[in-house]
Amino acid sequence: MINFLILPILIPLVTGVLLIFAAKRIMLQRWIAGISSVIAIILSALLVQKVRVDGIQTLDVSSWEAPFGITLVSDMMSALLVLTTSIIAFLCLIYSFWSIGEAREKFYYYAAFNFLIVGVNGAFTTGDIFNLFVFFEVMLMASYVLLVLGGKKAQLRESIKYILVNVISSALFVIAVAYLYSVVGTLNMAHISVRISEASQGNPPGIITVIAVLFLIVFGLKGAIFPLYFWMPGSYYAPPAPVLALFGALLTKVGVYSITRTYTLFFYHDTGFTHQLLSFLAIMSIIAGVIGAIAYWDIKKIIIYNIIIAVGAILFGVSAMTTDSLTGSIFYLIHDMIIKAALFLLAGIIIAIAGTSNLHKISGLIKRYPGLGWTFFIAALALAGIPPLSGFVGKLLIIKGGFEAEHYWGAGIVLMSSLLVLFSIMKIFINGFWGTPRAYKGEDKVPVGKMMIAPVILVVIAVFYGAGSEYVYPYILQAAETLANPEIYIEAVLKEY
């Protein structure tokens, strides 16, 4: 019997291969990709329940047991992120049917889409640090295709910067893994934790701290933390809305997940330096993101800079290393994946109607598109963390954990950022939807009703995720307990070893 654990990786992989052979048959591609995504959601939900009831699930690939072979591991955090990824992928797929265009659909769009999901789910699931690199590369290669597909000048220009940054980041990743292996002699993440713990009796070796910082640089480039976010506003600005939603919701979150996993599982022996550095960079990310979100009058840029703010808030919770802050970070991470996808898809509809993302050229949309306007308004409130919507619980727990860890300034900045996030995102609502209605060329050709299906579902999920947080909380708490107590993860993976 195939382990549930591997299916969210295997299904999009097989789907992507099949879609390569159906490149010119658009309707067949849509049906295959759609059915595959629904199956992935069902299996991911079953995996979450399996982890909830039976604990951490592991799968030793081939006959080699951990730590000698390649191991896939699904704890509650991993399972929840895989489920969230599967839901977002399905809804972005539906949105793509009405917005991406036949030209892209015929050039392997759906195949690349599925290969991206393989990389994301694989990165969330692997228990091997080198295979984390492998899944990163799968994800990035698919993202290169999705970024340039369409061949517009802005896409080609930004793809050069995007590829260059990620090639450098990948080279640093291999160097960091090599250094780590030379010190601990293993690639299994649970075993790495054991080896570092043994080496850190008394005082941790300085080389471990150096390697921890090197990994922070690698994952920080991919997760877009300060000051390594410089590539993101331009690169994420170029692709069409469903691709931008995938990138904004998933790609940076893989970097955030990787920092969270490594800094809670094995780089926790010198928290006075490593986690203080992470805390500083997280706070600076919030400040830099807020400045960008307030300064710009471009819909895409405002939401993109809000990604940086969210990354900072999540990683501040990780740096505090309390159960509350870690619970809040996981809660907020899932919230941000959902709400960023919704906002980018809604922004795509606004831009399709108006033909521009410049707020100075858009006004009065709510008169003709009230559903679009009020859906955006609810999403904006959720992003800012207005109770009882999804952003509130996670941010409250992060702030509480920050105070518990005596990081008062950081917790205060996270709290203040909520007001500034609300200001930046309401700027879109006030200027784009209110005011004198304008006539936009070609707006009658935009299938607004069909395109609204995906973001409406995402906003509904965000509302229930916040209002029904008491039902979700036990799952999030189980995930946080594994992060706060690495021995739970280690025992599940290494067993009798």
Give the residue with greater pLDDT, 410 vs 4: 410
pLDDT tens sequence across 145-159: 888 887 778 778 888
How confident is the model over 167-206, as pLDDT tens digits? 898 999 999 999 999 888 888 898 998 888 887 665 567 8
Q: Are strands 70-74 and 57-61 parallel, antiparallel or unpaired?
A: antiparallel
pTM as predicted: 0.93
In the predicted structure, residue 215 carries a pLDDT above the cut 80: yes
DSSP string, 60-85: EETTPPTTTSEEEEE-HHHHHHHHHH
Residue at token pair 């409406």: 456
Task: Give which of 214, 374, 237, 358 is closest to 307, Cα–Cα.
Answer: 237
**Distance set, CA 234 to CA 146, 189, 304, 459 (Å):** 15, 34, 9, 26
Domains in the chain, number: 1
Q: Inform me whether the pLDDT recorded for 450 exceeds 80.
A: yes
Contact predicate 184/192, CB 8 Å: yes
CA angle 277, 306, 148 (to 5 degrees): 100
Name the band, by pLDDT with cuts 50, 70 and 90, for residue 268.
confident
Contacts of 118 (CB under 8 A, 6+ apart): 9, 12, 13, 16, 135, 138, 139, 142
259: Cβ contacts below 8 Å, ≥ 6 apart:
215, 216, 219, 220, 223, 225, 278, 315, 318
Question: What are 406-435's pLDDT values in tens digits?
Answer: 888 988 999 899 899 999 999 999 988 888
Buried b (16+ CB within 10 A) or exposed e, 414-435: bbebbebbbebbbbbbeebbee
pLDDT tens, 355-390? 888 888 888 888 888 999 999 999 999 998 888 888
Supply the range of the domain harboring residue 215.
4-494
- For the cut 90, the answer to whether the pLDDT of residue 337 exceeds it is yes
- pLDDT band for position 308 (cuts 50, 70, 90): very high
